[in-house]
A = this chain, B = another copy of it.
Amino acid sequence: MNEIDETILQPAPAAEEPATDIYDEDGYVRSNFLMLVGAAIADRDVLFLRQNVARLHESELGDLLEAIQPEQRIALINLLGEDFDLTALTEVDEGIRLQIVEQLSNDTIAAAIGDLDSDDAVYILEDLDQVDRDEILSKLSFTERVRLSRALDYPESSAGRRMQTEFVAVPPFWTIGQTIDYLRDEENLPESFSQIFVIDPTFKLLGAVDLDKVLRTPRLGKIEAIMRETNHPIPAEMDQEEAAQLFEQYDLLSAAVVDENGRLVGILTIDDVVDVIQEEAEEDLMRLGGVGDEELSDSVRATTRSRVPWLGVNLLTAFLAASVIGLFDATIEKIVALAVLMPIVAGMGGNAASQTMTVTVRALATRDIDIHNAWRIIRREAGVGLINGMLFGVLIGVVAGVWFDNINLGGIIAVAMLINMMAAAIAGILIPLLLDRFGADPAVASTVFVTTVTDVCGFFSFLGLATWWFAIS
């Protein structure tokens, strides 16, 4: 694989050429490089672009495309023409990719897409609407077309969509010598491969052979003698996230993809799923923050639309909390200090809860915890809540008591804080667990429920206690 091309040391002098690194020390594309490219695009300086842009690695080219102005992107691609590596489009934001692909003519895409690995080609084609997609496919060679449509026929974000359909396969009865001779003579092989698959005449997968085993076995040795089987097939229909989890679980570098009949249809490599693995972790972050799958390239309109629902839900719960305060307006009218202090009780509870919640949501995602084995963690969180509650209860009690020169007030807020910290701990762990148990995504819904609990409980315990105390005293 051409990933391997990248793995070795460039002799020191070459490494010093400024051209070899387009990034500044912070890892962003150098602004002076951006200026040069921008100027070259404006001047239609194809020579400069060929020399300095065409030679970039696909991911560098992708970063460049994201960094320049939208209108410059198409101009750059058209100026480079043949020399533009379409693979770069697999490295940019979906929004940007769509915007570019829509502006490129189907002929341009068809001409370029033949050179791509099938997985990259599919990655780009699957975003297009049916009509354009079919037109582009119709312009490809028969084998190319068959290869790509086979992958495109699998459901979206399935292993079949992500797989590479180029691979080397031999029958089990071949000798090592036969195999090596075949590899030396055969023209029509994938550009690079890290293992040889073993199949029967019906293409049913029997096993695989690592290349190092081939190299270390005498010419007369049989393939079937050194071939390996395993328990981890990737059905082409399997969701890419499940496939990614298999890769994680078993530290796979690559896996054979098989159809429902166990026939070899392609190969999935870790670089195809490592992005999936990352998105997994990122998803939780975004959801806990109350944002959907939005991208930086999204418009104001799209962004607003994706955020309004969440804010709407929060508004409802905010009114719920407010109405709890409303129950005690008489008390607040008498002791306005309560109004001053009550946000502290609610806020501290909210923060404590979000700590517990974050840990729980992450643990659920990594499958380190579930409703069955949760008791130890629940006990721990309750313990932490108790300690923090007492700690900060006393702290706030003293400060509040001194501030308003009212010892009772200090005692009341201290108790309220303890109660709310306990509630926060329990809610912070139980709510995500229950949501997960009932098939909801804990990352999406937890925050709303949890903060509602801590707000309501915080206001109620504090104001309720105060009302009760000052009534009886």
Q: A20-63: which have CB < 8 Å to B?
A: 20-21, 26-28, 31, 57, 59-60
A313 shortest CB reach to chain B, Å: 9
Residue in chain B with minimal CB distance to A323? B340
Across the interface, A325 reaches (CB within 8 A) one of B60, B291, B343, B392, namely B343
Contact A340 B352, beta carbon cutoff 8 Å: no
Measured between beta carbons, the chain B residues less than 8 angstroms from A231 are 6, 10, 14-15, 20-21
Contact A184 B215, beta carbon cutoff 8 Å: yes
Contact A384 B300, beta carbon cutoff 8 Å: yes
Contact B344 A8, beta carbon cutoff 8 Å: no
Measured between beta carbons, the chain B residues less than 8 angstroms from A278 are 277-278, 281
Measured between beta carbons, the chain B residues less than 8 angstroms from A210 are 1, 4, 192, 194
A179 to B10, CA, bound (A): 23
A163 interface residue per 8 A CB criterion: no
Contact A229 B281, beta carbon cutoff 8 Å: no
Contact B9 A233, beta carbon cutoff 8 Å: yes
A214 to B216, CA, bound (A): 12
A149 interface residue per 8 A CB criterion: no
A375 shortest CB reach to chain B, Å: 13
Q: A192-211: which have CB < 8 Å to B?
A: 192-195, 197, 205, 207-208, 210-211
A258 to B10, CA, bound (A): 11
A263 shortest CB reach to chain B, Å: 10
Given contacts A59-B250, A315-B348, contact A212 B192 (CB under 8 A): yes
Given contacts A4-B195, A215-B211, contact A67 B373 (CB under 8 A): yes
A198 shortest CB reach to chain B, Å: 8
Given contacts A315-B395, A343-B455, A392-B315, contact A289 B31 (CB under 8 A): no
Contact A289 B256, beta carbon cutoff 8 Å: no
Contact A228 B315, beta carbon cutoff 8 Å: no
A262 interface residue per 8 A CB criterion: yes
Given contacts A253-B1, A281-B285, A343-B346, contact A245 B370 (CB under 8 A): no
Across the interface, A290 reaches (CB within 8 A) one of B303, B355, B380, namely B355
Stretch at the interface among A121-129, A328-336, A465-473: A328-336
A147 shortest CB reach to chain B, Å: 20
A197 shortest CB reach to chain B, Å: 8
Measured between beta carbons, the chain B residues less than 8 angstroms from A303 are 380, 384
Contact B319 A329, beta carbon cutoff 8 Å: no
Contact B253 A384, beta carbon cutoff 8 Å: no
A368 to B294, CA, bound (A): 13
A248 interface residue per 8 A CB criterion: yes
Across the interface, A319 reaches (CB within 8 A) one of B67, B195, B399, namely B399
Chain A, 241-280, contact with B by CB distance < 8 Å: what is the 0/1 string? 0000100111111111010001000000111001001100
Chain A, 220-247, contact with B by CB distance < 8 Å: what is the 0/1 string? 0000000011111100000000000100
A113 shortest CB reach to chain B, Å: 19
A373 to B35, CA, bound (A): 13
A466 to B119, CA, bound (A): 61
Contact B281 A180, beta carbon cutoff 8 Å: no
A369 interface residue per 8 A CB criterion: yes
Contact A218 B314, beta carbon cutoff 8 Å: no
- Enumerate the 6 nearest inter-chain pairs by beta-carbon distance, A residue then B residue, closest first: A289-B358, A9-B233, A339-B339, A211-B211, A281-B281, A300-B383
29 inter-chain pairs at a CB distance below 8 angstroms, sorted by A residue, are A3-B250, A4-B254, A6-B252, A7-B252, A7-B253, A8-B228, A15-B233, A28-B373, A59-B249, A59-B250, A183-B216, A211-B214, A215-B215, A253-B271, A277-B278, A289-B359, A296-B369, A296-B377, A300-B383, A304-B387, A311-B355, A315-B392, A318-B343, A318-B344, A319-B344, A322-B343, A325-B340, A339-B342, A343-B455
For the complex with contacts A342-B343, A343-B346, 7 further pairs of A-B residues with Cβ separation under 8 Å are A7-B256, A60-B249, A253-B270, A294-B359, A304-B387, A307-B355, A314-B348
